[in-house]
Structure 1
Amino acid sequence: MKQTYRSRAAFVLAWVWLAFVAFNVWDLISKYNGKPSLVALAVLGALTALVYVVALRPATVFTESELVGRNPVRTTYVPWASIEDVSVSHAINVRYGEDQVLRLWTPMASARERAKAQRRGMPGQQRGRFRTEPTLSKGEQAAVEAFAGKTHADWVGDQIRERAESVRHRHEEAAPVRVVWAYDAIAVLAAAVVLVVVAIVIP
């Protein structure tokens, strides 16, 4: 079963940007007035390529056999048995092989998110004789305890660590790690460069 984790804020903002671009492209084409419209289209194209590469494409994917790290221009396939250690700071760092490290682009933990998680992990204060917080069900309480003091990146890092340990306990043989170029991202960036060159060259 495949599970995909990414920055929800970046993903939503990227689609909002695409909707904005679609409207403006339609407007520029319908009211085309030569060089100015072409330059505006090139600028929109370049910015959209960057949005795709840094906001839409990055993802952390769990499959049955491996961890897939989709970064802006490369994709790394790390079999669970090859993972040696996982650490989380601002980003999730997965160590494998001989001191090789995969730095996952998403999810990341901002300083604000980490401070909020630490506040959430502190025991709640009671005011006076009566509790002011609503009573939680057992399931809700378990969820609160699981996320206490943790960011989304911390939680995903724990999931990676648990999967890797589970596979190692089964003594599965580690397959080679594969790193491939992201041809979709390269194609999008190349198209943006071509559009900018055309806008510059055409009088």
Structure 2
Amino acid sequence: MKPQVYRSKAAWLLGWLWMLFAAWNVWDLTAHGHLPSALIAGAVLGVITALVFVMALRPAVIVEEGGVRVRNVLRNAYVPWSGVDDVSVTNAIVIESGDTTVRCWTPQATARERVRAAGRAAKAAKSANKAERAAAEAVGARTHADWVADQLTEMSRSRRESSSGETRVTWSPSAVAAIAAAIVLVVAAFVVS
């Protein structure tokens, strides 16, 4: 089974656009910059790029055969299907597994998205078309986060037997390395300037 990945597509796209912008600026600073101003600009660029990486590109909910993997800003979590006790949505998807609570960074249900979904449901419920009314009743005022939470709940019920592993939450090596590299750039900029 190919893993399914749920994330904010807008954040992912903007994150990669920033990475292209940052790569072009690194080339420009390397080719045309002069110390110490190029190193200071590079440090600022490095800090922003590290933040974009950990906040826009990393976060995802990955559905695998044996469980769900959650990549948040600085931490990774894995919950096997047999370990999923409850999945709920507040402003974020929350997965309960024994004493462990995993809040998913993405997808989130914002207040604005909830209002828009409720408006769509109310408009469709007033429709003369029977099919649109039935769809409005089925979907209701659900957001993308609600839909993902329902998918996770359904999969945890149907895949309990194919579950593997144990619930674990760990620091993300790539996120920690990105933040550490940004800190090194800042320190180097202060030392040189």
Residue pair 1:82, 1:175 contacting (<8 A) in 2 also? no
The alpha carbon displacement at 1:176 in A equals: 2.1
* 1:14-41 deviation per Cα after TM superposition (whole angstroms, max 9, x unaligned): 1111111122222222211211111000
Residue pair 2:59, 2:105 contacting (<8 A) in 1 also? yes
Q: Taking structure 1 as reference, are residues 156 and 200 closer, same or farther at Cα in structure 2, changes over 3 Å only?
A: same
User: For residue 85 of structure 1, what is the amino acid of its counterpart?
Assistant: D
Identity over the aligned pairs, expressed in percent?
47
* 1:82-112 deviation per Cα after TM superposition (whole angstroms, max 9, x unaligned): 11111101100011113x2110111011111
* 1:156-192 deviation per Cα after TM superposition (whole angstroms, max 9, x unaligned): 0000111112235x5x777421222210111111111
Residue pair 1:58, 1:105 contacting (<8 A) in 2 also? yes
Residue pair 1:82, 1:174 contacting (<8 A) in 2 also? no
| Cα distance in 2, alignment partners of residues 6 and 15 from structure 1 | 14
Q: Taking structure 1 as reference, are residues 200 and 11 closer, same or farther at Cα in structure 2, changes over 3 Å only?
A: same
Q: Taking structure 1 as reference, are residues 159 and 182 closer, same or farther at Cα in structure 2, changes over 3 Å only?
A: same
| Cα distance in 1, alignment partners of residues 66 and 164 from structure 2 | 10
Residue pair 1:80, 1:163 contacting (<8 A) in 2 also? yes
The alpha carbon displacement at 1:42 in A equals: 0.4
The aligned residue for residue 45 of structure 1 is: 46
Q: Taking structure 1 as reference, are residues 199 and 166 closer, same or farther at Cα in structure 2, changes over 3 Å only?
A: same
Greater fraction helix:
2
1:116 aligns with 2:116: yes
Of 133, 148, 153, 1:156 maps to 148
| Cα distance in 2, alignment partners of residues 120 and 77 from structure 1 | 35
After the TM superposition, which residues 57-96 of structure 1 pair with which residues of structure 2 at under 5 Å, given as runs?
57-96=58-97
Q: Taking structure 1 as reference, are residues 180 and 90 closer, same or farther at Cα in structure 2, changes over 3 Å only?
A: same
Would you say how many aligned residue pairs link Structure 1 and Structure 2? 191
SS in 2 for 1:105: strand
The aligned residue for residue 184 of structure 2 is: 194
The aligned residue for residue 10 of structure 1 is: 11
The aligned residue for residue 106 of structure 1 is: 106
| Cα distance in 1, alignment partners of residues 122 and 75 from structure 2 | 39
Question: Aligned-pair RMSD on alpha carbons?
Answer: 2.3
User: For residue 114 of structure 1, what is the amino acid of its counterpart?
Assistant: R
Q: Taking structure 1 as reference, are residues 146 and 35 closer, same or farther at Cα in structure 2, changes over 3 Å only?
A: farther
TM-score by length of 1: 0.85
Q: Taking structure 1 as reference, are residues 33 and 113 closer, same or farther at Cα in structure 2, changes over 3 Å only?
A: same
* 1:111-162 deviation per Cα after TM superposition (whole angstroms, max 9, x unaligned): 1111111111114345xxxx7xxx89x8x99876654411110000000111
SS in 2 for 1:107: strand
Q: Which runs of 5 or more structure 1 residues have no equivalent in the other structure?
A: none
Q: Taking structure 1 as reference, are residues 161 and 6 closer, same or farther at Cα in structure 2, changes over 3 Å only?
A: same
